[in-house]
Amino acid sequence: MIDAVKRLFWRASLADHGYLFLFDPPPAGEVVSLDCETTGLDTTTDEILAIAAVPVVDGRIQTSRRFEAFVKPDRAPTADSIKVHRLRARDLEAARPMRDVLPELLRFIGSRPLLGYYIDFDVRMLDRYAKELLQVHLPNRRIEVSSLYYDRKYGKAPPGTTIDLRFASMLEDLGIPQLEQHIAVNDAVMAAMAWLQLTDLVERGQRLKRERRRDATAAPLGA
């Protein structure tokens, strides 16, 4: 409800009417798996270094039609962030400023729902740029893969069950081969694979088994 009101407000306050398409009814059976690589986890100060968006249409992950871009940050990336996503300054030579990349990305995504692991983070990052550059918010519906996973795995779990929602654990549980992580396209593709499988489990009313044998060690939460 609140979301709907927000959407209305955003739509009304849209400065550039060229972006009205974001509010079109989304095409049926299509979502876009989105992932950003960033300099850190603070959505107010950190910067986006790479973006990948992979359409998923009727059960097909269209890697052949993916959107992929490297973004030129305002500040040079720190050593810590380089360790995570291995994009070095010189890898970013092909990168373009966000003001060029963002309009392309938005046109690519259109009004399709956005899919991802911890997708709120990615959207918040993009929103910051979108607001600053285009005075728009991304109104797209978001699909959180980890919530779907939680539902299939822990939905009826007794209290005290150790909950492990780490990306790698989820992929392993679903039997999805792990591509090299922290490459935007790979993360987007893996999230899409997980989503397709989880959606199918939902449709067939199947749940994932919880392992009882495993010791209840505290598994860290989060990304």
Partner 1 sequence: MSTGFDAQNPPFDRLAQQEVEELRAATDIGYFRPGETIVARGRPSDFLHVVIKGAVEARDAEALQGVLGPRDSFDSRALVHGAAGEDFVAAEETLCFLIPRATVLALIARNAAFAAFFYADVSRKLEAFSEARKAEGGMESVLRARVRDAMHGRAVFIDGAVTIEQAGQAMRDGNTNAAFVRDGERTGVVTGMNLAKAVVLQRLPLDTPVREVTHFDIVAVDEDDFLFEALLSMTRHGKRRLAVRSGGVFAGFLEDIDLLGRFAGNSQLIPGRIDRARDVEELAVAAREIQDQVERLHRQGMKVEVIAEITSDLNRRLFVRLFELVAPPSIREQGCLILMGSEGRGEQTVRTDQDNGLLLAGLVPEADLATFREAFSGALDGFGFPPCPGNVMVRNPLWSQPAEGMVRQLRAWVMERTPDAAMNIAIFLDGVALTGRTALLAETKAALFEMMRGEAVLLGRFAHLIESFATPSIGVLGTLMASVGVTDDAIDIKKAGIFPIVHGVRTMALEKGITETSTAERMAALVRAGSFDGEFGRDIISAHRVFMGYRLASQLDAVRRGSVEGESLLRPSRMTAVDRDILRDSLRVVRQFRDVIATRFRTAAF
Q: Which residues bind partner 1 (CB under 8 A)?
A: 59-64, 68, 174-177, 179-180, 183, 185-186, 189, 192-193, 196-197, 200-201, 203-204
Q: Which is nearer to partner 1, 46 or 173 (CB)?
A: 173
In angstroms, what is the minimal distance from the CB of 135 to partner 1? Answer: 33
The 3-class SS string of 120-163 reads HHHHHHHHHHHHHHHCCCCCCCEEEHHHHHHHHHHCCCCCCCCC
Q: Which is nearer to partner 1, 43 or 197 (CB)?
A: 197
Which whole-number Å values give the CA distances from 200 to 80, 88, 127, 151, 206, in the listed order? 38, 38, 31, 13, 8
CA pseudo-torsion sign 114, 115, 118, 122: negative
In angstroms, what is the minimal distance from the CB of 119 to partner 1? Answer: 19
Q: What's the CA gap between 94 and 162, in Å, rounded?
A: 44
Q: Which is nearer to partner 1, 92 or 134 (CB)?
A: 92
201: CB partners within 8 A, 6+ apart: 152, 207, 208
In angstroms, what is the minimal distance from the CB of 84 to partner 1? Answer: 18
Q: Which is nearer to partner 1, 17 or 204 (CB)?
A: 204
In angstroms, what is the minimal distance from the CB of 148 to partner 1? Answer: 14
Q: Which is nearer to partner 1, 131 or 207 (CB)?
A: 207
Residue type, 67: F
Q: What's the CA gap between 28 and 89, in Å, rounded?
A: 40
In angstroms, what is the minimal distance from the CB of 92 to partner 1? Answer: 15
Backbone angles phi, psi at 69, to 5 degrees: -150, 145
In angstroms, what is the minimal distance from the CB of 171 to partner 1? Answer: 10
Contact present, 179 and 190 (Cβ < 8 Å): yes
- Give the Cβ contact number of residue 134 at 10 Å: 17
Q: Which is nearer to partner 1, 14 or 201 (CB)?
A: 201
Alpha helices in the chain (DSSP H): 2-13, 79-85, 98-109, 119-134, 145-154, 167-174, 184-203
Q: Which is nearer to partner 1, 22 or 31 (CB)?
A: 31
In angstroms, what is the minimal distance from the CB of 51 to partner 1? Answer: 13
